Amino acid sequence: MVLYHAAVTLVPEMYPLVSMGQTGVTFFFLLSGFVLAWSMNPKTTKRQFYWRRFARIWPLHALTALAAVVLVFATQGDQSVPQLLASLLLVQGWLGDQHWVYAYNGVSWSLSCEAFFYAVFPFLAVRLARLEPGKLFRVGATVFVAAVSFIAVLLALGPGFDWGALFYTFPAFRIAEFIVGVCLAIAMRKGWKPRFGIGVGVAAAIGSFLILEIVDGIAPWHTAGPLAGALCIPGYALLIAAYADRDRCGGRPTFASSPAMVKLGEWSFALYLVHELVLRTALELGPESLAERAAFAVVGIAISIPLAGAAYTFFERPLEARLRNRASSRGPVAEPAEKTGSFAEPAPERTLTEASARG
């Protein structure tokens, strides 16, 4: 995603090489559903769940939105207070108009989708947790087919309309990826074990990119964006399942489980929210030639990584912990399930590193 935004912002000549990067949002939404379902706990009430999700994403979102306000003011950008309020309230993804969806810190549109996913998760989890793995896979497959068919039909019936711009950021459409992630996690919690390793998962993800090359030849890329993302669902789901199974079974460490990658994983949310602001600032400095713009992109990325680390260490993590502790100090951590309306089955004995770090 970082390279994709670097191309969009500074080096459009690089776009054909990294255009698949926009499907990283699909992976993120799948992983979000998987991690929430993988780590859900029967002692967590809906109220606790919503507060923890708020503590997890909103403070850093608000901080980066403030940074975006400063950037817009400094560059005399044409953005309004209502647009800022829509962003802060995380409703911009529903508005359709790209001037609103991408206002201020443009990448925060995905948090608008996440806020919707969080809102429905407790109710969704209750129903899906009652199903056995076979039915869960049928639900996931149905959701996948429905998403692909829906956008494919729209592309066929109205090829001149920019369906991609509308549905790429539309929460009600993107929830398909989240639901598949939830189904996969619950199936694994109930004992399903993939009969393939990481090699197959990686191959499946790469195979998704090959499929997208065909899609790119059929429809304009800006129009086919949501279709491309939906087509990546199976490949990314297999990749997540393979890594989750290895983590659960205590397999040999991989590159993804190295200390450096784990640290980058902890910083990933902060990196996502700060990198485009840094790249936009670099653009405002006026690089003109390809070499200058490429150099500014490299420097921008290099600055974004330690900046994200600092944001995580000194703001995101301590403020989240403080908000969670404040909620816990107001009452018992959990009450009996029948009194609180908890929504999850017991958590698995071994959780993913990702779940324990970001849950």
pLDDT 10s digits, 3-25: 888 888 999 888 877 877 788 89
Question: Residue 37 falls within a domain, yes or no?
Answer: yes
Domain count, the chain: 1
Residue 305 lies in a domain: no
**Residue 312 maps to a domain:** no
The answer to whether position 51 is within a domain reads yes
For 228-248, the pLDDT digits (tens) are 888 899 999 999 999 999 888
**Domain-embedded: residue 69:** yes
Three-state DSSP class for 285?
Answer: coil
Higher pLDDT, 335 or 54: 54
Domain presence at residue 166: yes
pTM confidence score: 0.88
- pLDDT above 90: percentage of residues in the chain: 57
Q: Is the pLDDT of residue 46 over 80?
A: yes
Would you state the pLDDT for residue 169? 92
- Number of Cβ atoms within 10 Å of the Cβ of 212: 22
Average pLDDT, rounded, for the chain = 86
Yes or no: say if 57 and 89 are a contact pair by the CB < 8 Å rule. no
> Could you give the residue ranges of the DSSP H alpha helices within the chain?
2-9, 15-18, 24-38, 46-74, 81-88, 98-101, 109-128, 133-157, 163-167, 171-189, 198-218, 221-231, 233-249, 259-284, 290-311, 317-329, 337-340, 353-358
Identify the domain containing residue 168 by its residue range: 20-257+343-358
Half-sphere exposure of 48 (CA within 13 A, CB side): 23
The pLDDT value given to residue 326: 82
Is residue 151 assigned to a domain?
yes
